[in-house]
Amino acid sequence: MSKKSNASDKATASKIYPLNYERFLEIASQPTTADCRYPESVTQTRNLRWAEGVSYEDSIQRLKLGWPEGVAKAKQLASKLESRLTAEFSFDRDITFNTTGEWFDIGRVLEGEPDCWGSEIELDDQLSNDKRGKVVKVVVNVACSCHYDADEITRRGVYALAIVDLLERIGKSVELVVSCKLEKNGKIWGWELPLKKAGEELSLDRVSQIIGAPSGFRRSWFRVITHTDFPDCGSSLGHPTDWTEDELKERNVDIYIGALMSGATEWQGATDTNFIIRKLKEAGINVEQEDAKV
């Protein structure tokens, strides 16, 4: 399970709302006149900085079209790091002996050893054999404090998409869950949205707006949250909080990408390289690091 700060000291969720993709789209695509208890929270236009200038009506279209600029950045970043994983798993070649093989060792034949046939194998075959086919569960908490701007939300979204894309590229079976966890009126509220089961084909375009775009949280997620019996929020959804270590353990989470909030140390000094490498290491995947320190 991933190790992270700012989780173990937070309270467990008082109420958790399970979601599915179709239901999320249905709610997030409805006009605010349809069963939206706090429409001013969803449509607020006084400051569009946080939503990257995207109105609620525009966000509905983006749910259908995706977040192409974010996907492009994520794929570029994944391509950059994929070569490091290739380098990590392609060290030297090794020789193994068995009763069959590519050539025989005369010394072993003369000594009467049955395993006299040799074969060259790449160390990759040994080092990663126990990890091949492993399901990697990735959970992203999209909650965000208002003092984070669109650029920082974009960065988290690109990192999340790049990690998932990179895991798929190297043959991992990814389970992807997007979540939101908030504290309001002394209670903790959580939402969980599975976007991809292990073995399912990944479409970054399909999940990108929900998982990464600034307007995805400020518009789409606000719409879904205010559709529930969440407390009276007006223009505020309270304070973001992280899932606890116990909650992550219960869910068998391998990689957790946390909320953007005050005191979230995992974002301090994070760069494209060191953040993603650190998260991959949490899932037991080592990357040859060339120009950054973790």
**DSSP characters for the chain?**
----SSSTTSPPPSEEEE--HHHHHHHHTS-TTSS-S-HHHHH--S--TTTTT--HHHHHHHHHH--HHHHHHHHHHHHHHHHHHHHHT---EEEEEESS-SEE-HHHHHTT-S--EEEEEEHHHHHSTTTTT-EEEEEEE--B-TTS-HHHHHHHHHHHHHHHHHHHHTT-EEEEEEEEEEEETTEEEEEEEEEE-TTSPP-HHHHHHHHT-HHIIIIIIHHHHTTTTPPP-TT---EE-PPPHHHHHHTT-SEEE--B-TT-GGGTT--HHHHHHHHHHHTT-----SS---
Per-residue pLDDT of the chain (294 residues; tens, 9 = 90+): 444 444 445 566 678 889 998 888 888 887 665 555 555 556 665 555 666 777 777 788 888 888 888 888 888 888 877 766 654 443 334 567 778 877 666 666 766 778 777 776 654 444 344 444 578 999 999 998 877 778 888 888 888 888 888 888 888 889 999 999 988 878 888 999 999 998 888 788 888 888 888 888 878 888 888 777 776 655 567 788 999 999 999 999 999 999 988 766 666 666 667 788 888 888 877 665 454 333
Q: How many CB atoms lie within 10 A of CB 278?
A: 18
Whether 180 and 101 share a structural domain: no
User: Is residue 44 situated within a structural domain?
Assistant: yes
Whether 195 and 111 share a structural domain: no
User: Is residue 226 situated within a structural domain?
Assistant: yes
In 3D space, the residue among 39, 14, 85 whose CA is nearest the CA of residue 247 turns out to be 14
**Number of structural domains the chain divides into:** 2
Cβ-contact 264, 240 below 8 angstroms: no
Whether 67 and 49 share a structural domain: yes
Whether 103 and 174 share a structural domain: no
User: Is residue 231 situated within a structural domain?
Assistant: yes
Cβ-contact 4, 242 below 8 angstroms: yes
**DSSP characters for 266-291?**
GGTT--HHHHHHHHHHHTT-----SS
Whether 232 and 119 share a structural domain: no
Measure the CA–CA gap between 39 and 293, rounded to whole angstroms: 45
Whether 189 and 229 share a structural domain: yes
Rg (C-alpha) for the chain, rounded Å, is 23
Whether 53 and 140 share a structural domain: yes
User: Is residue 8 situated within a structural domain?
Assistant: no
What pLDDT does 255 receive? 94
What pLDDT does 216 receive? 82
Whether 56 and 192 share a structural domain: yes
Whether 44 and 179 share a structural domain: yes
Residue 100, C-beta contacts closer than 8 angstroms, at least 6 positions apart: 117
In 3D space, the residue among 282, 274, 287 whose CA is nearest the CA of residue 2 turns out to be 282
Range of the domain at 182: 15-85+130-282
User: Is residue 291 situated within a structural domain?
Assistant: no
User: Is residue 3 situated within a structural domain?
Assistant: no
pTM over 0.85: no
Whether 188 and 45 share a structural domain: yes
Whether 114 and 41 share a structural domain: no
Whether 97 and 68 share a structural domain: no
